[in-house]
Amino acid sequence: MLDMIIIGSGPAGLSAAVYAKRAGLDSLVIEKEYVSGGQVLLTYEVDNYLGLPGMNGFDLGTKFREHADGAGASFATDRVVSIEPCEDAEGKRFYRVKGAEGSHEARTIVAATGTVHRLLGVPGEDRFTGKGVSYCATCDGAFFKKKEVAVVGGGDVAVEDAIYLARLCSKVTLIHRRDRLRAAKSLQDRLFALENVEIVWNANVTEVQGDKKVENIIITSNSGASLAYPVDGLFIAVGITPVSECFRGLVEMDESGYIVAGEDCATSAPGVFVAGDLRTKKLRQIVTAVSDGAVAVSMAGNYLETL
């Protein structure tokens, strides 16, 4: 019987792992893939993490994992299928976490599975994923050097992707469904200063076309007019979706699937805490995820004392 199982190994999960070891808790981190760091690994440059400006995202994620390893954190690679609340012979609650490879039991859970990229859901998107359609500019941008690409979205990630791709590509077209961007003003200023970036306002990508790879995208304006736009690649950055399916029925969620919890990270289920992007909150950043990991473990420690 473990004190704690941490599900997810992004910044929130790794922070929780460090704090759990410092608190002397018998804990285990379950990660879906043997690569810790979460979405920070896909970020070209992290410029707003205190004390480490300009850090490459992969390097930062690697440092997070090295810190957790150095603290003595234990890891298991598995895909969590279900979490069952149980009681021992003394009537004390614990949780059985079942994975594809096995199961583990613990008194507390820290949910830190984060989010994944949202799909456009248009014809051709699935067919050309990996053949010109990408959800990670820093992962795939190098394949499109001196070529023409398009980016869909209007938030921080979309604008960051466009700025990054403009360094590599001959032309970048940013397509946004509204008449203004949602990204931070500092990012917008950098974007608008780039000569090889064009912005298409009030429009959506409604189809991806090609033979063996992406050749055209269909751009449809909000007025209904459509045109075929030739590109070599399409980068999609239209938001995120919480990875919360294994917690469904166990804890309260909002209509989008985020786990409901306040700043104490406590969920509706006793002994279950949530940290990082999976939690309902206003700001989803690396620094808030790391903070959540620390808070969740602290609150879990208090809960364990009540047992």
Q: So which residues are the catalytic ones?
A: 136, 139-140
Please give the structure tokens belonging to residue 214: 């992406």
Residue 281 to residue 143: CA distance in whole angstroms: 36
- Write out the DSSP string of 249-288: TTB-B-TTSPBP--TT-B-SSTTEEE-GGGB--S---HHH
Q: How many other C-beta atoms lie within 10 A of the C-beta of residue 65?
A: 20
CA distance 295 to 267: 13
CA proximity to 67, closest of 39, 42, 36, 46: 36
Strands 80-87 and 2-7: unpaired
Question: Is 17 buried (19+), middle (13-18) or exposed (0-12) by CB count in 10 A?
Answer: buried
Amino acid identity at 256: S
